[in-house]
């Protein structure tokens, strides 16, 4: 099956580098100037420097040309997904769309596949998620991911097309669990980064990670997810990675919040919007998600880390 990657951020570029070693493919970028730079340099210096492009990787600003394939990987930021789909509906219609973004739409509270369904009803879709850093994938380091697809036959076809000797995909039909695991782990990563940035220590981070995982499970199970999904790559696996490494943009945002330092607002941090969306959803559904609520307060600048920690530690004692 033929493949294109739409979106030349770090993750989209990494997927294109990895998969083009298996089959020729195209990487689409919106900016013609960015395409010219990548074509000249044979790498994406602005988003993923020092990771050269294989000869089989072509870049293009022409989405109609890029869409002349069987499978399109949508590697655009979650909060831009809806507008992207609406803008390019004609080019994307009738294709198999694999969402490679994690998060919840701030306006609707929906995940990526629900957003696709709103814009392209009847589209064949899957979700690629799990513990992965762009630089690791582009370097050819072993990585395990979850491919969530409600259609088992389609899932098998996409799994085969996107798997490589070092990029191993595990198939799941639990779209809800995979979606919420990938979205909510970013929120908990911000909380863990904030704890470390404020100097609260690794024991505090472990507690935040663990209790944050309980919140992830609470919302996911409420929405009908399989509990085993949250214990897998798209839940616990991704949570551990993003809560313990400064390669994670969400964790780095948390570090900045904990240190009361400025953070580059040009960097996309999906967990910031997801925290707000998840907090609103939890309140609407009557679910207790105090860490998520605290992160929403931090990113909205209603709380500082000291106040957030006080609020969490002053809660009533209870059983685990």
What are the percentages of helix, strand and coil residues in the chain, rounded to 5? 50, 10, 35
Paired strand residues for 73: 5, 98
CA distance 81 to 67: 16
d(C-alpha 303, C-alpha 296), whole Å: 9
- Of the candidates 95, 113, 97, which has an alpha carbon nearest to the alpha carbon of residue 105? 113
Both tokens assigned to 11? 């993750």
Q: How many CA atoms lie within 13 A of 266 on its CB side?
A: 3
Give dist(CA 124, CA 153) in Å, integer. Answer: 11
How many angstroms separate the CA atoms of 218 and 182, rounded?
Answer: 14
Q: Which residues contact 181 (CB under 8 A, 6 or more apart)?
A: 129, 216, 220, 229, 230, 232, 234, 235, 236, 238, 239
Say if residues 43 and 50 touch (Cβ distance below 8 Å). yes
Residue written as tokens 């973004």? 101
Give the tokens for residue 276: 């707000």
Q: Pick the closest to residue 84 from 130, 60, 118 (CA basis).
A: 118
Residues recognised as catalytic = 185
Q: How far apart are CA 224 and CA 231, in angstroms?
A: 15
């Amino acid at each position: 099956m033929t493949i294109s990657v739409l979106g030349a951020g770090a993750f989209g570029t990494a997927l294109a580098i990895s998969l083009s070693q298996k089959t020729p493919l195209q990487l689409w970028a919106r900016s013609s100037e960015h395409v010219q730079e990548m074509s000249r340099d044979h790498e994406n210096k602005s988003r993923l420097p020092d990771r050269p492009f294989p000869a089989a990787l072509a870049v293009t600003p022409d989405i109609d040309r890029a869409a002349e394939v069987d499978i399109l990987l949508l590697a655009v930021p979650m909060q831009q997904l809806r507008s992207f789909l609406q803008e390019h509906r004609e080019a994307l219609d009738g294709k198999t769309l694999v969402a490679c973004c994690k998060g919840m739409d701030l306006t609707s509270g929906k995940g990526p596949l629900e957003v696709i369904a709103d814009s392209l009803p009847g589209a064949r879709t899957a979700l690629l998620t799990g513990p992965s850093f762009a630089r690791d994938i582009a370097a050819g380091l072993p990585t395990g991911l979850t491919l969530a697809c409600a259609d088992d036959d389609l899932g098998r076809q996409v799994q085969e097309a996107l798997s490589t000797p070092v990029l191993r995909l595990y198939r799941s039909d639990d779209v809800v669990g995979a979606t919420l695991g990938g979205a909510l782990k970013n929120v908990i990563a911000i909380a863990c980064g904030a704890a470390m940035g404020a100097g609260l220590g690794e024991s505090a981070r472990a507690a935040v990670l663990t209790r944050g995982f309980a919140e992830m499970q609470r919302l996911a199970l409420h929405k009908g997810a399989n509990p085993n999904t949250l214990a897998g790559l798209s839940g616990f696996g991704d949570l551990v990675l993003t809560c313990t490494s400064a390669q994670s943009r969400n964790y780095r945002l948390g570090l900045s919040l904990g240190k009361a330092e400025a953070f580059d607002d040009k960097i996309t941090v999906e967990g910031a919007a997801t925290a707000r969306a998840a907090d609103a959803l939890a309140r609407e559904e009557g679910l207790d998600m105090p860490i998520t609520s605290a992160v929403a307060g931090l990113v909205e600048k209603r709380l500082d880390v000291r106040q957030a920690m006080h609020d969490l530690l002053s809660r009533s004692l209870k059983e685990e």
